[in-house]
Chains A and B, each alone.
Chain A
Amino acid sequence: MFIDVKMAWRNIWRNPRRTILTISAIAFASLLLVFMLSFQFGSYHTMINASVKINTGHIQVQAQDYQDKQSMHLVVNNPKAIGNILYKMQGVAAYTFRAKAFALVSSKERTYGVVVIGIDPATEAEVSTLKSLIRRGSYLPQDYQNQASPPALIGNLLARNLHVGPGDELTVLGQGRDGSIAATVVRIAGVYSSGMDEFDRSSIQIPLKHFQDVFAMRGAVHEVVAIGKSLKHVAKIKNETAAEINRRNLKHPLVVMDWEELMPGLRQAIEMDLVSGIIFYLILILVVAFSILNTFLMAIFERTKEFGVLMAMGTTPGRLTKLLLIESVSMTAVGIVIGIIIGCLVTWYFQIHGIDIAGSSEILKQYGISGRIHPQLSLISAISGPAVVLLITFLAALYPALKVRRLRPVEALGHM
């Protein structure tokens, strides 16, 4: 075996130019795959985290059917109890309560129908990025009892449509949980901009306490939103919370949903992007494989006489095949290793510095990516692409390697 490897290695370097070109092709493909996969994973991570932090959280506890119907009668009656479960659980970074209702919001000049969201100022700031998105004015104060009217936050697009800014009053008119008329006047404390148009156009935030009074919620909320220490904890938190809630056997069933269920579009968009990426990579690998097949076929045509000599001296066809496959695998291996090393270095550089996607920031903002994308190097992104390259080039080398078995020593020797 050792002698075979040694022979193969020397054979490879008999024509260094050809070998270097072939290895470069393999290294190029591997490098590209490592970088692109890391880039994709990095942007998914950014997308998920951004959407989760602006809006949905990692998991939510809601009344059954609330997600589809968004009806204000479907409530979580005892949010404190759910809060206690989450409080004790490991892996939960923070949680908060929210209540939502549709209402007519009017300024002096304009009226729009929007979603009014009751939030708890202190815990909301731990769960979502809302506080850091305030562009004008300030975040909801903890204590507003001494103010004439309760404070509110508003998205910049809605503020523009309503012709209002910080300090202006808004009249909110809706329907309470018991069917009564819910009306209140709030004063705008701050204007936020998340970059996601849909979010900035369609909602205002008021303190949860005030919301519960106005909309006759009797202490109930619509969503218990929790955020895990990282994405990895989500599955465990979801299962444990669901088990804990089931044990209580509530009269009105509650469900625990994770971000994939809360934003099915996001998950499918990621899948779609990944699948189309994989198709493109396979095509790329196919093109590379052909250039390798090429080199191999040529190398074998060139060496027909040599194989004839080897066979005449008693080398079995099996050993010849083995020799050629070792040549192919070791050449690919060298290329892959170089590709992985350079790929990792390049990716690592951008992982630290980020990539500025100039000109497309408007688009990316809608997906919650603002500023730079940081590729994410992982074992999967570093290994899986090159592994497929190895496999496909091996298959490509199989044909010429098996072809030598059919050589007849006498004919081969006569070959020029």
Chain B
Amino acid sequence: MYFKLAWRNIWRNPRRTAVILLAVVIGVWNMIFAGALMRGVEVGMIKNSIATLTGNIQIHRKGYRHDPVVENSITDPKEVEAAFEKILPPNAIWTSRVRVNAVASNARHSSGITLVGIHPAREAGVSFIGQAINQGRYLVPDDTYGIVIGRALLDRFETKIGHKLVLMSPTPDRDIASRAFRIVGTFRAEMQSTEKRFAFVTMPAAQQMLQLKNSVSEFSIVLPNSLDNSRLASALQSVLPSNYYEISTWRDLLPMLDAYLKLSDGFIYIWFVVIFIAMGFGIVNTTLMAVFERMREFGLLKALGMKPFWIIREVLTEAFLILLLGMAVGNILGFVSVLALSERGIDLSALAAGTEFAGMSRMLYPVIYAKDAITANLVVFVLGLLVCLYPAIKAARFTPVEALTQT
């Protein structure tokens, strides 16, 4: 009965309802859309960082993270592999690497880089390098002298595929090991700094050069489509002795990114409230005017014996219906526009240096998080009803005599 009455009331003046609906729709659409853009930036950053040799979870020997040298390698990788057999979910993929700082030089240039020894096939599934080769070829398992470097490093060294590159790095005995590699391919990465920093050789080549026997520097695990790794991390923790191994999730490995994500969470919700305030003025104003227009009607209702509380309920029910309708349309618009953009993504390559500086990826794919959509709708709904309380109370306060004399 109330709903029916309210529903008919809001369509007594369709133009007014349409205008207020439009304000709600634009507000909700904007909250969903802007939220999706910001989340898109975040997801791009996370994916990019995980693919850049981070993974969801990494395992190091204790001390390696603060002092990344060959002495701090894991000497018995079999132990970790056995633990993986037992614990990892079937969709998880993992690899091990040797990773040390090294100096690369040719006849004319030298520069500090990170030397990464990889299992070519396994690595391709885990990190970006599998799809990043843009010239030459990727490593094969028996490449004892092949090396893959970033395009930017190749340019900086003024060299070509097929030419030699000498790498130098300290061994566990504190000698300097050096070995000449031949460049077999180059890779492209989202960030130029990645291209300048990493050089890939095969695992046996790295172990031989650095006199490492079977030791590795790290294990990296990737869980497709999942960003929450705390459960797996603690499971690994319980199996691997904690006085020797250190298990870190990407949140531990990338504290900056983690801090950024928290900041941006806060920003999204502040933005929701700001938009609501802008929209709220319109909602209050229109509802207020609608109430004043109907002063006579409310007076009459009261004269007929309607209690003030019922009038409040009536006005709020009308607001409720309008909000509900506006939210429905706003959500649909939001989802449709995000869907349309997320197919192709937004290309930011024109600002490549800027995206790199900010640590963003070049392609932006908007994503809607359920919690954002829910928060946005809750903000509109709860605050919307709250601000409509003011006109509702106004309406309930009209005295019959005063109201009936109004024309």
Contact = CB atoms under 8 A, between A and B. Distances in A.
Interface of A: 17-18, 21-22, 24-25, 28-29, 32, 68-71, 102, 104, 109-114, 160-161, 163, 174-175, 202, 264-273, 280, 283-284, 286-288, 290-295, 297-299, 301-302, 359-360, 362-363, 366
A363 B259 contact: yes
A298 B289 contact: yes
A22 B280 CA distance: 11
A163 B215 CA distance: 23
Interface stretch (B202-210, B269-277, B334-342): B269-277
B103 A280 contact: no
Contact of B102 (A71, A113, A362): A113
A265 B354 contact: yes
Nearest to A285: B278
A21 B283 CA distance: 10
A294 B174 contact: no
Nearest to A115: B112
A288 B26 CA distance: 10
Contacts of A269: 353-354, 357-358
B366 interface: no
B278 A291 contact: yes
Contacts of B144: none
A274 to B, nearest CB: 10
A18 B260 contact: no
- Give the interface size class of chain B: 35 or more
A29 B284 contact: no
Given A112-B101, A288-B278, A360-B260, 16 more contacts: A22-B281, A29-B278, A70-B156, A113-B101, A160-B66, A265-B354, A268-B351, A287-B30, A287-B275, A288-B281, A288-B282, A291-B285, A292-B282, A298-B19, A299-B289, A301-B16
B384 to A, nearest CB: 13
Nearest to B359: A366
Contact of A110 (B15, B108, B170): B170
Nearest to B357: A265
The 6 closest A-B pairs by CB, nearest first: A291-B282, A268-B354, A265-B357, A113-B112, A25-B281, A113-B103
B112 A112 contact: yes
Q: Which of B26, B34, B278, B354 has the most CB of A within 10 A?
A: B278
Contact of B112 (A24, A202, A265, A298): A202
A287 B263 contact: no
Nearest to B352: A268
A360 B15 contact: no
Contact of B288 (A17, A113, A163, A360): A17
B176 interface: yes
Contacts of B112: 102, 112-114, 202
B26 A175 contact: no
Given A287-B26, A301-B16, A69 B274 contact: no
